[in-house]
C-alpha cells in the first residue's frame, strides 16, 4: 500500500520543540521531493518547507526559517520536521507530501500537484 503517515504531533508550550515524522510505505521516499505544510485554524494551507531528492536544495517559508529544519533518514524511509522555538501561531494540522521528478525549486512550489499526501498530525502550542 502506497502511503505517507505523519506522527509526532501533540501539545507543546511556547518556546518548546517537537519533531514530526513522515514515513513512506510502498515507495522510496529518497527518490522524491518532500514538503511539509500546515493548515492553521481559519487559514489556508501554508507551505513550510520543501527539499528535493538528495536534499541539495531546500526552501523554507519565512514564517519558519531559522526555527524549523527538514531532514531525512533513508534507511527508515522517513522525513522529519524538527520544530524549535514554537509559537502559538504554529498551531495547526501538519501534513507531509511527496513529489517525484523535481530538479529545482520555484516560488510556486507549495501549489504543485504532489503525488502523495499524509493524513496529517495535529500540533497545538499553548501554555
pLDDT in tens, 56-86: 899 999 999 999 999 999 999 999 999 999 9
**Has residue 102 got a pLDDT over 90?**
no
Q: Is 58 helix (H, G, I), strand (E, B) or coil?
A: strand
35 and 114 Cβ atoms separated by less than 8 Å? yes
> How far apart are the C-alpha atoms of 46 and 25, rounded to whole Å?
25
Name residue 10's beta-bridge partners. 123
116 and 27 Cβ atoms separated by less than 8 Å? yes
Nearest to 23 by CA among 79, 99, 82: 79
> How far apart are the C-alpha atoms of 88 and 15, rounded to whole Å?
9
Amino acid at each position: 500500500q502506497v502511503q505517507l503517515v505523519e506522527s509526532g504531533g501533540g501539545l507543546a508550550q511556547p518556546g518548546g520543540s517537537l519533531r514530526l515524522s513522515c514515513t513512506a510505505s510502498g515507495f522510496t521516499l529518497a527518490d522524491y521531493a518532500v514538503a511539509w505544510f500546515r493548515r492553521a485554524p481559519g487559514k489556508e494551507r501554508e507551505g513550510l518547507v520543501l527539499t528535493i531528492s538528495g536534499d541539495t536544495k531546500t526552501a523554507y517559508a519565512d514564517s519558519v526559517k531559522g526555527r524549523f529544519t527538514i531532514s531525512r533518514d533513508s534507511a527508515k524511509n522517513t522525513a522529519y520536521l524538527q520544530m524549535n522555538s514554537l509559537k502559538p501561531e504554529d498551531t495547526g494540522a501538519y501534513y507531509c507530501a511527496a513529489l517525484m521528478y523535481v530538479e529545482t525549486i520555484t516560488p510556486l512550489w507549495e501549489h504543485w500537484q504532489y503525488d502523495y499526501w499524509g493524513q496529517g498530525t495535529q500540533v497545538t502550542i499553548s501554555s
